[in-house]
């Protein structure tokens, strides 16, 4: 329907000309940098291949999804997930291809747990025989599975789970039972409406020899059928359903589930590492108890690696929009010129550019963590468990820090965009809603930092007690610190403003000193664990920051391929990330002489200098993350982050032409019961739906 | 409808100890007088009013909250309009005052499509209209015969009002104004109540007379037909679409294609055009216009305390009910520990508990300052007519106080809304996994609150005004002008003592804490002044410094207001000594926790020593957490937020957290009415729905 608004244009200079100028003023090659970041595992090639296939499908268009009710939105999510699986067959996609499609569509798939934790757990924890039986069923999707660990009353504390699996030596079965309401499984993805099988983690209860008492052997995984294969209704004695609306994850059917004395066969217990002898009822212990956390570590490693692209998306939207958006003239400049791009304000830069630098830091950390995971995995397969502790602790700390950086970063980007950041057109709403689950899932960010601290305290203890040889780089550093500390001479003098390597050393020193502090408090002074928790959290954070800075530095130092222009800007990004982190926690660095007072005072000016060096390249740098407009469109449209800068045209188009609310006319008079003019939507109808 | 709950499920209880028992224990271990403290915070009358409104609203089916988070946008807004209508009917029936209507709205807990009519539309007509215009517009608006909104921000322009693009051109030939949108970015945008509900708008537009621009002015414009509710010709208006929160409000867009309105539609109390001579007369007292904004901001500060209190109430109660892990140092048979006993939970929640009290008392202080200022201005005005204005001395006195308040209000608005907004997210995360559920009651509340961080002036932009004001005050003090208000006094004190050093005993003396905050602000002010005046650095390059300065100044004001409140005779007479002592501890926790987080600035300004900071961190704050912990539940109880308003399974007064989460998931969740076919290659999506949806 044509109207007078069709001929209206945004005021000048408009988005496209602004972004064109931004792209002209930087000499870096987005193609080269994009390849450097994203081509090693075929990511870019894959993205280019999958994207056009998805864009042909009407049901995968995102423009109106934000308006739907929860049941309708869930249905749409399931329809899309089904379609993706069919496309996968049609185009013979690999698993990575499929993951790419899922990433681009950007719905949390209701099949997610089937494809991740369900099959991973079977692969890692089922016996050979069990694997032979279940893996083909799962891979062919003859059964759909979920992973049910957390309960209504228990999250991170796996040992506290209440669901019971009691061995019945008469029938050679396990009896799965929920003794309390808090034993209800809770939050388990894909289980609420979709799965018909689940890995259920329950306390293994075995009869004590020569007595009628049962003893718990701790939580163990069982594979259990939960719904009928024909009717899809819950089996007898099982109550299962979706837990209701959430902050995000609208297309995921997180579940509750209760059992009333349900019997499962002996073979339900996944028995690669631990088993119950069906004849004697005796328990065989796992070779290494920590191994049951293996898949959790894998999930955490992936969360860290994924964080770079999540944050890059938010930073892309914010950077492009804050260059297009103009507000106020420069106070010292020509008052009659156009208003300034918002990104020219240091108060906006300080919110966005350090996050831009963080996307690169996350990238290199993610790469490093994957390598560590793969190496550790290989060791474990060979029966060597010594890298497990390091990997577990590193993954805990980094998961905590990286998800916090990404989640808070998305929200900072959204707010830096002012009012429009709150609108559906920002493209950051579903991203924020979905991603904010990350700081609390797979181990609460605050709780899991204890694991890192515990590990470091132990290492420091060994160093202090002079176990003087071998070990890794950290052991050596800890020993050196303990020696110096003992000798009473602590002067380090890192030149953080002039040496990139000294920045690394400064971070290491602060983390080491905090580790020593924690060791001293806990081991020497015997302080309560509880009274130290805040300090331990800081220690974990410092250690993880140190890892991020180190991996960033090492990746840039080792690189021999990048062009000089890119290398220069990457070093600036490294410095911005490190020095900005340092400034935020300045007091800690100062306290341990990891920074001098004069350097501390100089930091704000140095950070501002770095930002003004990076500023001209900002648009090109986000372009290099190669995030297609289709993906930025998360949750129905990023008008603000469009590559072409047509921000205002797009916002208006969506409000004016795509908004279903504008198709109904309200009756605004409070004394009349009619709500929608002429449609018969009355008071009574609204009430009847309640 | 959900399937009936099997008997064996009904028989299940949460594992012990029960939430209700734990909260009872919490309440038993503290003797804070909840009733007295509630009365101090809210007054007896307000509490009584809340109780009677609650009794009236809760039984009404239309106000049911159970499906708020599952509905689609269109249905949600329809429901919201039904609520608004019912509220207005009740208001008429019970002859509610503005305060009562407002309190009822607070209990409902979400914005309604009448929101901007009832607030900004009426206020603007009242404050900026002439008596003739009051008759023409205000009286009809008060009866809801016309429904309006306030249309200022545009697609391309937010905080910078002078940059607005909508024009109003005076036509001397037929004595009308032509309202026009010359570009797409001129579209009004974000205008609450405009999208589907209002039929009138106060439109801010650039006034042009004879080709000359006189800046933005307010015009009353009818936008929809009073019968059909369709947009008038050449008016383009609609809702801007789904948002992060606030989805029960129809924020709108609005474009004009040369629409004419009569002379009387320009709100003319402060500036007007003479119909016959076409002469423009200037605003008599431009500062009064800012008065409204200042009042709005003071309100935001006061409300911020209450907003945060909802999150802290929920998180505190839930963390007292939720138990996780045994204490590492306790014996192995001990039960799991209440999450609230963990130091790292305390360090997140208890400072926020202190903050909500701090913000509340600060908001109170500002309102008092605003009212004082209003009465001084009125007194200054009273001898003559409105239009004559006051003599120069009185005016400067009023303006001086107003400048102080205006600068104060925008810095505090930024600090308070950021503290509340970010605090809610901290509360949500402190609830662990269940915080992510809508039934936690925090997420939806957070989403609705977030726009406060950017509207009425973006929090970061606002900080420039504070800095500008502080620099001006510093120059005045350096020039030897007498220190007339608090801001100049703290600057003067700093100058006087700068060469002797500070030596504040922040660990022992409460008033030294206030002095240390003042010292840091003064130090940062003179640093910024040096950069700007002596080093001639550009304004733009100093924005980050200004932002830090504004934050520091606002934190000083909160600390000072909090200190004044806890040391006031009013508080002493209202509370028993023990509760009063607890208020002092909350003050110390707020102040020392802030000091510790901003340690570097306190240290480098010379306000405190490194040793003091270390002791603050390792000893003082830890001890305060221990001291306040046993009273946490009673301290949130005192805020007296009814369960119905909290709308939270986790924050229930009775602690029946798990029962309620389970009931809502299994009985109030429409997704469970659907049985799906889970296989990708089967065309049916639902088991009882034969046709393909793919």
pLDDT at B694: 43
| A130-179 pLDDT, tens digit each | 999 999 999 999 999 999 999 998 876 778 899 999 999 999 999 999 99
Q: Is residue B207 part of a domain?
A: yes
pLDDT at B432: 86
Q: Are residues B508 and B406 in the same domain?
A: yes
Question: Which runs of consecutive H residues, i.e. helices, occur in A520-673?
Answer: 533-558, 564-584, 586-591, 597-614, 618-623, 629-632, 647-657
pLDDT at B389: 38
| B426-475 pLDDT, tens digit each | 999 899 889 889 999 998 888 888 877 766 556 677 788 899 999 999 99
Does the pLDDT value for residue A668 go beyond 60? Answer: yes
Does the pLDDT value for residue B382 go beyond 90? Answer: no
Residue B668 near residue B69 (C-beta atoms within 8 A): no
Q: Is residue A647 part of a domain?
A: no
Q: What is the Cα–Cα distance from B75 to B271, expressed in whole angstroms?
A: 43
Alpha-carbon dihedral of residues B187, B189, B194, B195, nearest 10 degrees? 90
Strands (E), A145-213: 145-148, 164-168, 173-177, 185-188, 197-207
Q: Is residue B113 part of a domain?
A: no
Show Cβ contacts of residue A103 under 8 Å, excluding neighbours closer than 6 positions: A309, A631
- Report CA-CA distances (Å) from A398 to A344, A357, B8, B348: 32, 17, 43, 21
Cross-chain residue pair B666–A247, CB shorter than 8 Å: no
Q: What is the Cα–Cα distance from A359 to A433, expressed in whole angstroms?
A: 20
Kindly report the nearest CA distance between residue A389 and chain B, in angstroms: 19
Q: Are residues B300 and B273 in the same domain?
A: no
The total number of structural domains in chain B stands at 2
Does the pLDDT value for residue A276 go beyond 60? Answer: yes
As given in the structure block, the two tokens for residue A298 are 């894998």
The mean pLDDT value for B276-286 works out to: 78
pLDDT at B156: 85
Does the pLDDT value for residue B692 go beyond 60? Answer: no
Q: Is residue B536 part of a domain?
A: yes
Q: Are residues B403 and B542 in the same domain?
A: yes
Interface of A with B in 249-308 (CB under 8 A): 249, 253, 256, 258, 260
pLDDT at B391: 34
Q: Are residues A281 and A300 in the same domain?
A: no
- Report CA-CA distances (Å) from A535 to A454, A587, B139: 12, 14, 62
pLDDT at B394: 35
The total number of structural domains in chain A stands at 2
Q: Are residues A367 and A461 in the same domain?
A: yes
Does the pLDDT value for residue B691 go beyond 60? Answer: no
Residue closest to B89 by CA, chosen among B110, B69, B112: B112
Q: Is residue A120 part of a domain?
A: no
Does the pLDDT value for residue A489 go beyond 60? Answer: no
Which member of A192, A196, A529 has the closest CB to residue B328?
A529
B186 vs A673 pLDDT, higher one: B186
Q: Is residue B645 part of a domain?
A: no
Query: What SS3 state is found at B259?
Result: strand
Domain boundary among A622, A642, A657: A622
Q: Is residue A93 part of a domain?
A: no
pLDDT at A314: 95
Percent of chain A past pLDDT 70, that is, above it, reads: 92
Contacts 24+ apart (CB under 8 A), B36-41: B36/B574, B36/B575, B36/B576, B36/B579, B37/B575, B37/B579, B37/B635, B37/B638, B38/B638, B38/B639, B38/B640, B39/B574, B40/B570, B40/B571, B40/B574, B40/B575, B41/B360, B41/B638, B41/B639, B41/B640
- Spell out which residues of chain B touch residue A649, defining contact as CB-CB under 8 Å: 184
Q: Which range among A652-666, B505-519, B613-627, B651-665 shows the weakest confidence by mean pLDDT?
A: A652-666
Q: Are residues A266 and A383 in the same domain?
A: no
A678 pLDDT band, cuts 50/70/90, is confident
- Spell out which residues of chain A touch residue B165, defining contact as CB-CB under 8 Å: 11
Q: Are residues B246 and B262 in the same domain?
A: yes
Q: Provide DSSP, B178-199.
A: EEE--SSTTSEEEETTTTTT-S
pLDDT at A491: 61
Does the pLDDT value for residue A654 go beyond 90? Answer: no
Does the pLDDT value for residue B381 go beyond 60? Answer: no
Which member of B74, B238, B675 has the closest CB to residue A655?
B238
pLDDT at A290: 53
CATH code: domain of residue B604: 1.20.140.10
φ and ψ of B216, to 5 deg:
-70, 135
Whether A182 and chain B come into contact, CB under 8 Å, resolves to yes
Q: Are residues A277 and A347 in the same domain?
A: no
Q: What is the Cα–Cα distance from B131 to A211, expressed in whole angstroms?
A: 93
pLDDT at A635: 44
Does the pLDDT value for residue A286 go beyond 80? Answer: no
Continuous segment of H or E residues that includes residue B237: strand B235-239
Q: Are residues B161 and B298 in the same domain?
A: no
DSSP B308: H
The position carrying tokens 């770095």 is A610
Query: What SS3 state is found at A232?
Result: coil
Q: Are residues A204 and A329 in the same domain?
A: no
Residue closest to B247 by CA, chosen among B49, B76, B442: B76
Q: Are residues B274 and B417 in the same domain?
A: no
Domain boundary among B637, B654, B688: B637
Q: Which of A22, A442, A508, A649 is catalytic?
A: A442
Does the pLDDT value for residue A4 go beyond 90? Answer: no
| Vertex B256 angle, CA B253 and B262, to 5° | 125
Q: Are residues A326 and A213 in the same domain?
A: no
Does the pLDDT value for residue B503 go beyond 60? Answer: yes
Q: Is residue A517 part of a domain?
A: yes
Q: Is residue A134 part of a domain?
A: no
CATH code: domain of residue B268: 2.40.110.10
CATH code: domain of residue A301: 1.20.140.10
Closest B-chain CA to A678: B228
DSSP β-bridge partners for residue A613: none
pLDDT at A587: 86
| A194-216 pLDDT, tens digit each | 999 999 999 999 998 878 899 99
Which member of A246, A597, A660 has the closest CB to residue B437?
A246
φ and ψ of A218, to 5 deg:
90, 175
The mean pLDDT value for A463-474 works out to: 76
Cross-chain residue pair B9–A258, CB shorter than 8 Å: yes
Kindly report the nearest CA distance between residue A456 and chain B, in angstroms: 17
Q: Are residues A408 and A346 in the same domain?
A: yes
A451 pLDDT band, cuts 50/70/90, is confident
As given in the structure block, the two tokens for residue A328 are 């106020």
Q: B186 is in which domain, residue-wise?
A: 144-284
Q: Are residues A561 and A590 in the same domain?
A: yes
Q: Are residues A301 and A442 in the same domain?
A: yes
- Is A672 among the catalytic positions? no
Cross-chain residue pair A182–B253, CB shorter than 8 Å: no
Q: How many CB pairs under 8 A join A and B?
A: 432
Domain boundary among A239, A268, A286: A286
- Report CA-CA distances (Å) from A159 to A150, A216, A217, B335: 11, 10, 10, 12
A415 pLDDT band, cuts 50/70/90, is confident
Q: A361 is in which domain, residue-wise?
A: 295-622
Show Cβ contacts of residue A74 under 8 Å, excluding neighbours closer than 6 positions: A110, A193, A250, A251, A253, B671, B674
Closest B-chain CA to A650: B184
Q: Are residues B299 and B183 in the same domain?
A: no
Q: Are residues B264 and B295 in the same domain?
A: no
Cross-chain residue pair A4–B613, CB shorter than 8 Å: no
- Report CA-CA distances (Å) from B266 to B70, B129, B202, B218, B284: 43, 8, 9, 6, 16
The span from the first CA to the last CA of chain B, in angstroms, equals 26
Domain boundary among A286, A309, A335: A286
pLDDT at B604: 87
Q: Are residues A490 and A460 in the same domain?
A: yes
- Spell out which residues of chain A touch residue B244, defining contact as CB-CB under 8 Å: 414, 422-424, 426, 429, 432
Q: Which range among B122-136, B273-287, B308-322 shows the weakest confidence by mean pLDDT?
A: B273-287
Q: Provide DSSP, A349-377.
A: HHHHHHHHHHHHHHHHHHHHHHHHHHHHH
| B52-75 pLDDT, tens digit each | 999 999 999 999 999 888 999 999
Q: Are residues B231 and B365 in the same domain?
A: no
Q: Are residues A269 and A371 in the same domain?
A: no
Q: Is residue A16 part of a domain?
A: no
The mean pLDDT value for B9-27 works out to: 93
Q: What is the Cα–Cα distance from B303 to A354, expressed in whole angstroms?
A: 32
Domain boundary among B587, B618, B637: B637
Q: Is B480 exposed, middle or buried (0-12, 13-18, 19+ CB in 10 A)?
A: exposed
B396 pLDDT band, cuts 50/70/90, is very low
| B294-325 pLDDT, tens digit each | 777 788 888 999 999 999 999 999 999 998 87
B548-575 burial code (b ≥16 CB/10 A, e <16):
bbbbbbbbbbbbbbbbebbbeeebeebb
Is beta strand B188-191 parallel, antiparallel or unpaired with respect to B252-256? antiparallel
Q: What is the Cα–Cα distance from B411 to B406, expressed in whole angstroms?
A: 9
Q: Report the residue of B337, B626, B665 to disrupt the A interface, i.e. the one with the largest count of A CBs within 10 Å.
A: B665
Cross-chain residue pair B669–A244, CB shorter than 8 Å: yes
Q: Are residues B359 and B246 in the same domain?
A: no
The span from the first CA to the last CA of chain A, in angstroms, equals 37
Q: Which range among A12-16, A324-328, A501-505 shows the weakest confidence by mean pLDDT?
A: A324-328
pLDDT at A336: 66
Does the pLDDT value for residue A511 go beyond 70? Answer: yes
The mean pLDDT value for A569-596 works out to: 93
Does the pLDDT value for residue B226 go beyond 90? Answer: yes
Q: Are residues B298 and B366 in the same domain?
A: yes
Mean of the per-residue pLDDT values for chain A? Answer: 88
Does the pLDDT value for residue A333 go beyond 70? Answer: no
Q: Is residue A663 part of a domain?
A: no
Does the pLDDT value for residue B491 go beyond 70? Answer: yes
Does the pLDDT value for residue B377 go beyond 80? Answer: no
B584 vs A296 pLDDT, higher one: B584
Q: Is residue B36 part of a domain?
A: no
Residues of B with active-site annotation: 456
- Report CA-CA distances (Å) from A600 to A329, A349, A589, B517: 33, 20, 9, 21
Q: Are residues B405 and B538 in the same domain?
A: yes
pLDDT at A470: 65
Does the pLDDT value for residue A386 go beyond 90? Answer: no
- Spell out which residues of chain A touch residue B348, defining contact as CB-CB under 8 Å: 446
Q: Provide DSSP, B335-378.
A: -PPBGGGSHHHHHHHHHHHHHHHHHHHHHHHHHHHHHHHHHHHH
φ and ψ of A439, to 5 deg:
-65, -20
Q: Are residues A170 and A253 in the same domain?
A: yes
| A141-155 pLDDT, tens digit each | 999 999 999 999 887
Whether A214 and chain B come into contact, CB under 8 Å, resolves to no
Interface of A with B in 453-512 (CB under 8 A): none
Residue closest to A295 by CA, chosen among A409, A198, A388, A164: A388
Q: Is residue A340 part of a domain?
A: yes
Residue closest to A355 by CA, chosen among A144, A154, A541, A584: A584
Q: Is residue B196 part of a domain?
A: yes
The distance of Cα B416 from the centroid of its chain, to the nearest Å, equals 8
Does the pLDDT value for residue B12 go beyond 60? Answer: yes
Query: How many residues are there in chain A?
Result: 690
């Amino acid at each position: 329907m044509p109207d007078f608004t069709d001929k209206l244009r945004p005021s000048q200079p408009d988005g496209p000309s602004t972004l064109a100028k931004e792209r002209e003023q930087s000499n870096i090659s987005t193609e080269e940098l994009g390849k450097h970041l994203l081509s090693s595992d075929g990511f870019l090639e894959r993205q280019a291949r999958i994207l056009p296939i998805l864009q042909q499908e009407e049901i995968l268009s995102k423009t109106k999804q934000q308006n739907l009710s929860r049941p309708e939105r869930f249905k749409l999510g399931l329809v899309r997930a089904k379609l993706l699986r069919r496309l996968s067959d049609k185009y013979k996609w690999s698993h990575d291809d499929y993951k790419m499609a899922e990433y681009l569509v950007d719905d949390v798939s209701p099949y997610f747990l089937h494809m991740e934790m369900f099959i991973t757990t079977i692969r890692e924890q089922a016996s050979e025989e069990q694997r032979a039986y279940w893996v083909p069923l799962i891979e062919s999707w003859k059964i759909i599975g979920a992973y049910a660990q957390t309960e209504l009353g228990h999250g991170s504390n796996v040992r506290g789970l209440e669901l019971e699996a009691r061995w019945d030596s008469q029938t050679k079965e396990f009896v799965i039972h929920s003794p309390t309401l808090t034993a209800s499984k809770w939050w388990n993805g894909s289980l609420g409406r979709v799965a018909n099988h689940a890995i259920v983690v329950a306390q293994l209860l075995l009869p004590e020899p020569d007595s009628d008492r049962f003893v718990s052997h701790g939580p163990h995984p069982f594979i259990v059928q939960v719904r009928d294969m024909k009717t899809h209704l819950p089996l007898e004695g099982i109550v299962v359903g979706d837990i209701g609306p959430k902050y995000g994850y609208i297309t995921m059917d997180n579940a509750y589930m209760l059992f009333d004395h349900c019997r499962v066969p002996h073979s339900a217990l996944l028995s690669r590492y631990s088993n119950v002898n069906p004849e004697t009822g005796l328990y065989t212990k796992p070779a290494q108890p920590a191994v049951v956390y293996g898949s959790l570590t894998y999930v955490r490693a992936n969360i860290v690696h994924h964080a770079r692209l999540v944050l890059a998306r938010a930073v892309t939207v914010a950077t492009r929009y804050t260059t297009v958006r103009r507000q106020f003239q420069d106070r010292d400049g020509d008052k009659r010129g156009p208003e300034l791009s918002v990104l020219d304000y240091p108060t906006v830069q300080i919110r966005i550019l350090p996050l831009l630098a963080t996307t690169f830091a996350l990238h290199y950390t993610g790469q490093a963590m994957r390598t560590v995971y793969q190496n550790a995995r290989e060791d474990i397969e060979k029966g060597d468990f010594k890298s497990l502790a390091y990997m577990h602790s590193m993954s805990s700390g980094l998961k905590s820090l990286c998800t916090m950086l990404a989640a808070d970063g998305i929200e900072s980007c959204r707010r830096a965009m002012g009012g429009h950041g709150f609108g559906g057109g920002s493209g950051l709403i579903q991203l924020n809603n979905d991603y904010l689950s990350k700081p609390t899932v797979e181990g609460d960010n605050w709780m899991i930092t204890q694991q890192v601290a515990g590990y470091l305290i132990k290492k420091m203890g060994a160093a202090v007690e002079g176990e003087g040889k071998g070990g890794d780089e950290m052991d050596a550093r800890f020993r050196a610190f303990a020696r110096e500390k003992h000798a009473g001479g602590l002067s380090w003098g890192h030149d953080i403003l002039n040496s990139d390597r000294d920045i690394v050393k400064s971070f290491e020193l602060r983390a080491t000193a905090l580790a020593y502090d924690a060791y001293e408090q806990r081991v020497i002074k015997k302080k309560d664990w509880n009274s130290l928790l805040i300090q331990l959290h800081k220690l974990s954070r410092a250690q993880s920051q140190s890892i991020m800075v180190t991996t960033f530095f090492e990746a840039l130092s080792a690189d021999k391929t990048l062009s000089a222009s890119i290398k220069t800007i990457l070093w600036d990004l490294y410095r911005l990330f490190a020095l900005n982190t340092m400034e935020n926690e300045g007091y800690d660095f100062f306290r341990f002489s990891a920074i001098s007072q004069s350097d501390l005072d100089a930091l704000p000016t140095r950070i501002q200098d770095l930002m003004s060096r990076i500023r001209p390249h900002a648009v090109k740098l986000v372009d290099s993350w190669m995030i297609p407009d289709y993906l930025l469109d998360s949750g129905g449209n990023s008008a603000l982050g469009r590559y072409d800068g047509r921000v205002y045209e797009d916002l208006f188009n969506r409000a004016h032409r795509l908004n279903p609310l504008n198709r109904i006319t309200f009756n605004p008079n409070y004394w009349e019961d009619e709500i929608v003019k002429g449609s018969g939507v009355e008071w009574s109808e609204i009430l009847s739906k309640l | 409808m959900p399937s009936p709950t099997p008997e064996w499920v009904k028989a299940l209880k949460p594992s012990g100890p029960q939430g209700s028992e734990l909260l009872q224990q919490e309440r038993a271990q503290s003797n804070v007088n909840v009733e007295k403290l509630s009365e101090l915070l809210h007054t007896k009358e307000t509490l009584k009013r809340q109780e009677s409104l609650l009794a009236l609203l809760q039984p009404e089916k239309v106000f049911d909250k159970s499906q708020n988070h599952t509905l689609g946008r269109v249905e949600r807004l329809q429901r919201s309009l039904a609520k608004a209508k019912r509220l207005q009917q009740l208001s008429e029936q019970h002859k509610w005052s503005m305060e009562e209507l407002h309190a009822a709205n607070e209990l409902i807990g979400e914005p309604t499509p009448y929101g901007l009519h009832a607030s900004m539309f009426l206020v603007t007509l009242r404050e900026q209209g002439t008596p003739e215009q009051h008759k023409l517009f205000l009286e009809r608006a008060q009866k809801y015969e016309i429904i309006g909104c306030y249309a200022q921000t545009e697609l391309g322009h937010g905080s910078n009002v002078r940059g607005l693009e909508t024009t109003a051109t005076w036509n001397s030939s037929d004595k009308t104004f032509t309202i026009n949108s010359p570009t797409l970015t001129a579209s009004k945008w974000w205008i609450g109540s405009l999208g589907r509900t209002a039929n009138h708008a106060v439109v801010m537009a650039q006034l042009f007379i004879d080709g000359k621009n006189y800046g933005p002015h307010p015009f009353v414009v009818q936008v929809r037909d009073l019968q059909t509710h369709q947009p008038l010709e050449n008016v383009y208006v609609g809702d801007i679409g789904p948002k992060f929160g606030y989805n029960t409000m129809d924020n709108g867009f609005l474009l004009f294609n040369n629409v004419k309105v009569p002379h009387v539609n320009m709100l003319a109390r402060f500036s007007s055009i003479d119909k016959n001579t076409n002469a423009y007369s200037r605003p008599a007292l431009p500062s009064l216009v800012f008065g409204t904004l200042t009042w709005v901001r003071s309100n935001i500060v006061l409300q911020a305390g209450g907003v945060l209190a909802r999150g802290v109430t929920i998180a505190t109660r839930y963390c007292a009910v939720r138990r996780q892990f045994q204490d590492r140092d306790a014996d192995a048979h001990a039960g799991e520990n209440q999450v609230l006993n963990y130091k790292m939970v305390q360090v997140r929640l208890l400072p926020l508990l202190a903050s909500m009290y701090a913000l509340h008392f600060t908001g109170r202080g500002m309102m008092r300052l605003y009212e004082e200022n209003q009465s001084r201005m009125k007194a200054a005005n009273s001898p003559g007519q409105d239009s004559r204005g006051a003599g120069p001395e009185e005016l400067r006195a009023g303006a001086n106080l107003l400048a102080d308040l205006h600068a104060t209000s925008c810095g505090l608005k930024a600090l308070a809304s950021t503290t509340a907004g970010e605090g809610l997210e901290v509360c949500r995360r402190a609830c662990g996994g269940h915080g992510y559920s809508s039934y936690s009651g925090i997420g939806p509340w957070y989403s609705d609150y977030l726009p406060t961080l950017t509207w009425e002036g973006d929090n970061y932009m606002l900080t420039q005004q504070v800095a500008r004001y502080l620099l001006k005050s510093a120059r005045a003090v350096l020039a030897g002008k007498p220190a007339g208000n608090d801001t100049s006094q703290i600057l003067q004190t700093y100058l006087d003592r700068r060469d002797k050093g500070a030596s504040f005993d922040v660990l022992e003396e409460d008033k030294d804490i206030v002095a240390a905050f003042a010292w840091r602000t003064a130090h940062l002010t003179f640093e910024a002044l040096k950069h700007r005046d002596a080093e001639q650095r550009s304004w733009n390059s100093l924005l980050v410094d200004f932002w830090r300065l504004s934050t520091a100044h606002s934190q000083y004001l909160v600390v000072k207001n909090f200190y004044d409140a806890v040391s006031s005779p009013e508080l002493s007479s209202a509370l028993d000594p023990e509760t009063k002592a607890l208020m002092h501890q909350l003050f110390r926790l707020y102040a020392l926790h802030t000091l510790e987080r901003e340690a570097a600035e306190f240290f480098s300004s010379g306000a405190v020593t490194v040793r003091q900071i270390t002791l603050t961190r390792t000893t003082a704050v830890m001890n305060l957490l221990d001291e306040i912990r046993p009273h946490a539940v009673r301290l949130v109880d005192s805020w007296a937020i009814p369960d119905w308003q909290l709308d939270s399974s986790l924050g229930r007064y009775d602690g029946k957290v798990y029962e309620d989460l389970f009931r809502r998931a299994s009985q109030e969740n429409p997704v469970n009415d659907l049985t799906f076919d889970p296989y990708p290659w089967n065309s049916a999506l639902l088991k009882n729905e034969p046709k393909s949806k793919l």
